[in-house]
Amino acid sequence: MYQINENYNKLPGNYLFSTVAKKVDAFKAANPDASIIRLGIGDVTQPLIPAVIEALHKSVDEMASAETFRGYAPDLGYDFLRNAIAKNDYAARGCDIAADEIFVSDGAKSDSGAIQEIFSADARIAVCDPVYPVYVDSNVMAGRCGDYDAATGKWSRVIYMPTTAENAFIPDYPMETPDLIYLCFPNNPTGTTLNKDQLQGWVDYANRVGAVILFDAAYEAYITEADVPHSIYECKGARSCAIELRSFSKNAGFTGLRLGFTVVPKDLVCKGTALHSLWARRHGTRFNGAPYIVQRAGEAVYSAEGKAQIREQIANYQKNAAFIRQGLLDAGYEVFGGINSPYLWLKTPKGMSSWEFFDYLLENANVVGTPGAGFGPSGEGYFRLTAFGSFANSKEAIARIQKL
Amino acid sequence: MYQINENYNKLPGNYLFSTVAKKVDAFKAANPDASIIRLGIGDVTQPLIPAVIEALHKSVDEMASAETFRGYAPDLGYDFLRNAIAKNDYAARGCDIAADEIFVSDGAKSDSGAIQEIFSADARIAVCDPVYPVYVDSNVMAGRCGDYDAATGKWSRVIYMPTTAENAFIPDYPMETPDLIYLCFPNNPTGTTLNKDQLQGWVDYANRVGAVILFDAAYEAYITEADVPHSIYECKGARSCAIELRSFSKNAGFTGLRLGFTVVPKDLVCKGTALHSLWARRHGTRFNGAPYIVQRAGEAVYSAEGKAQIREQIANYQKNAAFIRQGLLDAGYEVFGGINSPYLWLKTPKGMSSWEFFDYLLENANVVGTPGAGFGPSGEGYFRLTAFGSFANSKEAIARIQKL
């Protein structure tokens, strides 16, 4: 008789955002008249920019005629998109990344779940705590995390690096040496960042101990401060120790279009095997390319009009972030993030647990956020709000919270 | 120091179609004037049907306005598409499959590579030989296949079920009991099928020995004979032993759009755990939904106009298949498939190996096919041609082959 992958049964409960959605649905069913404002899941609300819409229509028309129809995309991405990324996201920032080191995918969630596959089954992972759940859960499913301790909320083989107000959200190098280090800056969920010197320290550390940094830069478009790196390849030595994951979801509103990419520099070599060739093989065997029309949409993000339109869209979300931040501070909350990030991270008031505060906010202000504990044990006592709503909704949410 | 997944280094050479592409590129570089006809990789050539184009334009316009914009799709697929599939692909054929047993994805290649993840690391897999390489390679990467023997072209832990002219391409039940049985009918690459009684035999076998059948029905739209099942759920008892993988690539020309789905009936239960919940968890953690616009395109395939337009498109490819089949028979080749399938499977002439015949055909007829050996040891001595070209190209290819 066949057997299942027992690691799945080790996962406690549901995926965080599914649990949030279920709670909100139940509240809505019980309170059909409540006007709920969702500042929970990090989904965007502004429409796709005109340059992207135009590229989509144009490429859809290409698919309507045999002469211009495109079937299977190259597994690793169309050159027009890989070149645009190399030029705009890397060369323009002085980063030495070639177009063929860029692997186009259907999104950073897929890539951040899949990247662990190319590493050994007993690799030790280190994550910031709190953390985006996909990093840990995908490794649990692969059997790397040991056992879950419900009392501490920790996995026995995961190396946790707490990032809390106590260390100003700057993780310390871990006591045990990890093989893979997941870093996400600007951070999800805390909205905080590392400056360039601090990130350089991590690159040096990884090169020193022989670890790979899996650097999630999905939120780089929200950076406003000059000394915050947009890419890990701004740091010296990153080509030999870092893989970078990028997304079109937050910088260009592609959450419903699905597009991302992963950078695997050819200098990442383990005992003669280039990780670049492993990831290429993984893509070639288990992925069939992102849709042509979506890759054309991605290319349009880098056009002159696209860049201008995107800047305006991001500025709107940044305005929300600044407004929410100030509104929470005015209401007496302790607030982090929101300066280089669309995420606000606040301390729950009066010693409430983060799920207690979730229920309290939902019931009394009809505002949905995300409980910090859902991101890891050190997220307990914190709560995440996002700036991805409309300005009107952000304003109304703050008005309601200030009235509590 | 971190270590890689050493299973990758066990994989011999490159993914089959990458190797074919490289050979063709080299030939083209050396013979820039050659007019190459590609009947190799199973990519479609006809444009998307008008109903799909219209649905794409309409949904792109929805993404242009805040009122109708759609962000993250439900991980498991939009209800409008899951309902259309349940009604048209299952209820209409008398199969008892609920909409929430259908998981929408970015394509059958992704799903057929990922499905093994929910099973135990030591599961024994059985595959037909020859076989679509993704089934085996994805299990090699997961460490289930043991070691590769270059002399036999076989993996030590894989159970091979030869399907050749000798057994009329009907696999025998294996001597060793497998945990997972990959079946693809109409078959890729042989183009042959099982009738309903034969498939029922496999369902009964799987239920008897406690195995799961992973049934790839990507080519069901090409079935012309009445007693060939379109879905494994036409067989009694399949709900407790079979997962079905389906694609929009070949039935609706979505190779460049990326859409597929996997059916996991709730009756598939192993020691109290429903595979349905494992696959839902996998999708929720490691996938972020297929693009909204592509799911709307998929829905349009099931509209009245969509169905009529698709029927016409498939009929064109079927006409090619019949023409190529007859042309090869007239030229004295032994040919299989092409009746319920877009694939033609021929015996290589004069004892040529399948790669020798690949080179011979490329050099002397400038026709690209796929060497049978690339699909497994029992594919040696066979060669695959596809009916996905234009009729003009199919005709020209046959004219050239007949002249050899």
**In the predicted structure, residue B270 carries a pLDDT above the cut 80:** yes
- CB burial of residue B163 (10 Å; 0-12, 13-18, 19+): buried
Residue A225 lies in a domain: yes
Judged against a pLDDT cut of 90, whether residue B182 lies above it is answered with: yes
**CATH, residue B339:** 3.90.1150.10
- C-alpha angle with apex A161: A156 to A166, nearest 5 degrees? 130
- Which of residues B262, B287, B303 is at a domain's end? B303
Q: A106 is in which domain, residue-wise? A: 53-303
pLDDT at B255 over 90: yes
Shared-domain flag, residues B216 and B129: yes
Indicate if A378 and A362 belong to the same structural domain: yes
Query: Could you tell me the end-to-end alpha-carbon distance of chain B, in angstroms, rounded to an integer?
Result: 57
User: What does DSSP assign to residue A257?
Assistant: T
Residue B40 pLDDT = 87
pLDDT score recorded for residue A21: 87
Both tokens of A398, joined, read 């703050």
Looking at the structure, tell me whether residues B299 and B312 fall in a common domain. no
Inter-chain touch B270–A4, beta carbons under 8 Å: yes
A324 and A380 part of one domain: yes
- Is residue A285 assigned to a domain? yes
Could you write out the DSSP letters of every residue in A317-373? HHHHHHHHHHHHHHTT--EEE-SSSSEEEEEPGGG--HHHHHHHHHHHH-EE-EEGG
Over range B197-215, report the average pLDDT: 98
Whether residues B148 and B77 fall in one domain: yes
Residue A361 has pLDDT above 90, yes or no: yes
- Quick one: what percent of chain A has pLDDT higher than 90? 95
Q: Tell me the HSE value of B185 on the side-chain side, using a 13 A CA sphere.
A: 26
What is the pLDDT of chain A when averaged over all its residues? 96
Confidence of residue B52 (pLDDT cuts 50, 70, 90): very high
Same domain, A36 and A69: no
Paired residues of A125 in beta bridges = A180
Q: What is the mean pLDDT of residues B350-371?
A: 96
Would you call A56 and B60 a contact, using CB atoms and an 8 Å cutoff?
yes
Q: CA–CA separation, B58 vs B63, rounded Å?
A: 9
Report yes or no on A5 lying in a domain.
no
Q: Is the pLDDT of residue B247 over 90?
A: yes
Pairing label, strands B212-216, A148-149: unpaired
Helix (H, G, I), strand (E, B) or coil at B349: helix
Cβ <8 Å between A53 and B61: yes
Within 13 Å and on the Cβ side, how many CA atoms surround B209?
19
pLDDT band at A292, cuts 50/70/90? very high
Burial of A160 (0-12, 13-18, 19+ CB in 10 A): buried
Question: In which element (H, E) is residue B154 found?
Answer: strand B154-155
Identify which of B103, B354, B122, B364 has the alpha carbon closest to the alpha carbon of residue B244.
B103
Alpha-carbon distance of A248 to A146, in angstroms, equals 33
Domain end, chosen from B303, B320, B351, is at B303
Is residue A6 assigned to a domain? no
Q: Is B351 found in the same domain as B216?
A: no
pLDDT of residue A15 exceeding 90, the answer is no
Cross-chain residue pair B8–A121, CB shorter than 8 Å = no
Whether the pLDDT of residue A13 is over 80: the answer is: no
Could you report the predicted ipTM of this complex, rounded to two decimals?
A: 0.96
Cβ contact, residue pair A3, B270, below 8 Å: yes
pLDDT band at residue A402 using 50, 70 and 90 as cut-offs:
very high
Region B343-347: what's the mean pLDDT? Answer: 98
Contact B281 A120 (CB under 8 A): no
B186 shares a domain with B80: yes
Chain A residue whose CA is closest to B76: A18
Contact B111, B283 (CB under 8 A): no
**B295 and B311 fall within a common domain:** no
Query: Span B106-117, mean pLDDT?
Result: 98
Q: What is the pLDDT averaged over residues A184-209?
A: 98
* Phi/psi at A363 (5° precision): -75, -35
pLDDT of residue A40: 87
Nearest CB partner across the interface for A210, out of B1, B110, B282 = B1
Q: For residue A14, what pLDDT is reported?
A: 66
Sign of CA dihedral B374, B165, B249, B274: negative
> What is the number of other CB atoms lying within 10 angstroms of the CB of residue A147?
10
| Residue B206 shares a structural domain with residue B288 | yes
What digits encode the pLDDT tens for the residues B78-96?
A: 999 999 999 999 999 999 9
The pLDDT of residue B51: 98
Amino acid letter at A339?
I
Of B274, B303, B332, the residue that ends a domain is B303
Share of chain B above pLDDT 90, in %: 95
CA B313 from centre of chain: 18
The average pLDDT across B319-324 equals 98
CA dihedral A312, A315, A319, A320 (to 10 degrees): 90
Domain presence at residue B328: yes
Q: Taking CB atoms and an 8 Å limit, are A71 and B294 in contact across chains?
A: no
> What's the domain count of chain B?
2
- DSSP states of A48-76 as a string? PPHHHHHHHHHHHHHTTSTTT---SPPTT
* Stretch B52-60: mean pLDDT: 98
Phi, psi of B277 (to 5 degrees): -75, -30
Q: Kindly report the nearest CA distance between residue A332 and chain B, in angstroms.
A: 33
CATH number for B153 = 3.40.640.10
Instruction: Give how far B88 is from chain A: nearest CA, Å.
Output: 25
Residue of B nearest to A283 (CA): B110
Same domain, B260 and B397: no
**For residue range A46-57, what is the model confidence (pLDDT) as tens digits?**
999 999 999 999
Q: Can you give the C-alpha Rg of chain B in angstroms? A: 21
Whether residues A235 and A188 fall in one domain: yes
Contact A242, A253 (CB under 8 A): no
Mean pLDDT, rounded, of chain B: 96
pLDDT tens digits, A207-246: 999 999 999 999 999 999 999 999 999 999 999 999 999 9
Question: What tokens were used for A167?
Answer: 């260390």
Cβ–Cβ < 8 Å for B48, A69: yes
In a domain, B3, yes or no: no
Q: What whole-number distance in Å separates Cα of residue B233 and Cα of residue A42?
A: 39
Please tell me the predicted confidence (pLDDT) of residue A282.
96
User: Does B232 map to a domain?
Assistant: yes
Identity of the residue numbered A110? S
pLDDT in tens, A76-102: 999 999 999 999 999 999 999 999 999
Q: In what helix (H) or strand (E) does residue B127 lie, and over which residues does it extend?
A: strand B125-129
Residues of A in contact with B114 (CB under 8 A): 286
Whether residue B14 has pLDDT greater than 70: no
Of A56, A134, A288, the CB nearest to B285: A134
Asked if residue A155 belongs to a domain, the reply is yes
